[in-house]
Structure 1
Amino acid sequence: MIQTEKEYNVIVERIETLLQNTNNIENTEAKEYIELNLLSDLVADYEESTYPVKKPALPEVVKMRMAEMGLNQKRLSELLGVSTSRISEYLTGKSEPTLKVAREISIKLGIDASIVLEFSKTSASSLRNFVYFSVYLCATTNSQSCSKFALNL
C-alpha cells in the first residue's frame, strides 16, 4: 500500500522503466511482468483514494452535450419544450429540472438518468427519485435497457 507521494513517485518511475521493455508487457511468465502488474495495481489504488474523480454535475454534462450536438440555449429550450430562461437556470445550477424535463434531457440529449437526477448511492431520496425516474422512463419509452434495469433492482 502506497502511503506517501514520495513512494508514489518512486513506484511510477519504476513502472515507466518496466514499460520500456515490451517483454514485461507481453510475457506473462516474466518476473518483471508480475512486478509491473503489482505496482500498477498499487498505483491505481493510491490514485483512486488520493485523486478521486467526481461524478459530473448536470449543468456541465448538458453544456458538453450541447457543444457536441451544436445546440445553443434557444434550440435546447425548443427541443425540451421549456423557456430559455429555464434552460439558463438549469445550466447555472439555480434550479433542477422537473421529472418530465429530466426525462426529455435523458432521452433527447442521451444523458444517463443517474446524471440527470444527480444520483447518489448514499442518498435515499436520490435513490427513490432514480427508481421513480427509471420506471417512468421505461413506462413511457420502448427502451431495451428497461429489462436490464429491472434485473438490477
Structure 2
Amino acid sequence: MKNSIYKTESEYEKAMVEIDHLMKKGEANLSDQELATIRQMALSAEAYEKEYYYIEPPKTLEGMIELRMYELKLKQKELAETLGVSETKLSMILNKKQKPDIPFIKAVHEKLSVSAEFILQHI
C-alpha cells in the first residue's frame, strides 16, 4: 500500500491516519525510514486526491478571486485591504457591477498569485 497510489477511499483514509500519527511525533523525532515512509505516503495521497477530489478551476476572474480568498482564509474586508481597494469596490467587482481596473488587476496578480494568463483570459 505504501509504494502505490491508493485505490480506495478506505486505503486513503488509513494512510491519512498513519501520516497524522507520524506527523504528531515531530520531524526531529522521526527516523530516516519514517521520513521516507511519510514522504511516499504523502505523494500517493496527493495522487489519489488529484484523481478523486478534483475540483474544476474557476471559469471567471471573480470566481478565482473568491477561491483565493477562501484558500487564504480572508474575509472580504481583509481581501479588500490586501488588494488596496475599498470593500465597496471589491464587492462591486465581485458582483460584476464594476469592471476591474489595471491597479486592481495588478494587485490580484501580485497579492493573490493569480497567473497573468488566467487574468488575461478572463477579463
Q: Where does the alignment leave 5 or more consecutive residues of structure 1 unmatched?
A: 78-86, 131-153
| Conservation of the 8 A alpha-carbon contact between 1:11 and 1:43 | yes
Aligned length: 104
| Conservation of the 8 A alpha-carbon contact between 2:15 and 2:41 | yes
Partner of residue 48, structure 1: 50
Please say if 1:59 is aligned against 2:67. no
Cα 1:58/1:67, change in 2 over 3 Å? farther
What is the aligned counterpart of 1:4 among 3, 8, 20?
A: 8
**Normalized against structure 2, the TM-score is what?**
0.55
RMSD: 4.1
Q: Where does the alignment leave 5 or more consecutive residues of structure 2 unmatched?
A: none
| Conservation of the 8 A alpha-carbon contact between 1:15 and 1:36 | yes
Flag the structure with more relative contact order, 1 or 2, with Cα contacts below 8 A and sequence separation at least 6: 2
Q: Distance in 2 between matches of 1:119 and 1:104?
A: 16
Percent same amino acid among aligned pairs? 16
Partner of residue 17, structure 1: 21
Cα 1:103/1:11, change in 2 over 3 Å? same
| Conservation of the 8 A alpha-carbon contact between 2:62 and 2:94 | yes
Q: Distance in 2 between matches of 1:42 and 1:2?
A: 6
Q: Distance in 2 between matches of 1:116 and 1:92?
A: 21
| Conservation of the 8 A alpha-carbon contact between 2:22 and 2:30 | no
Larger Rg: 1
Partner of residue 103, structure 2: 104
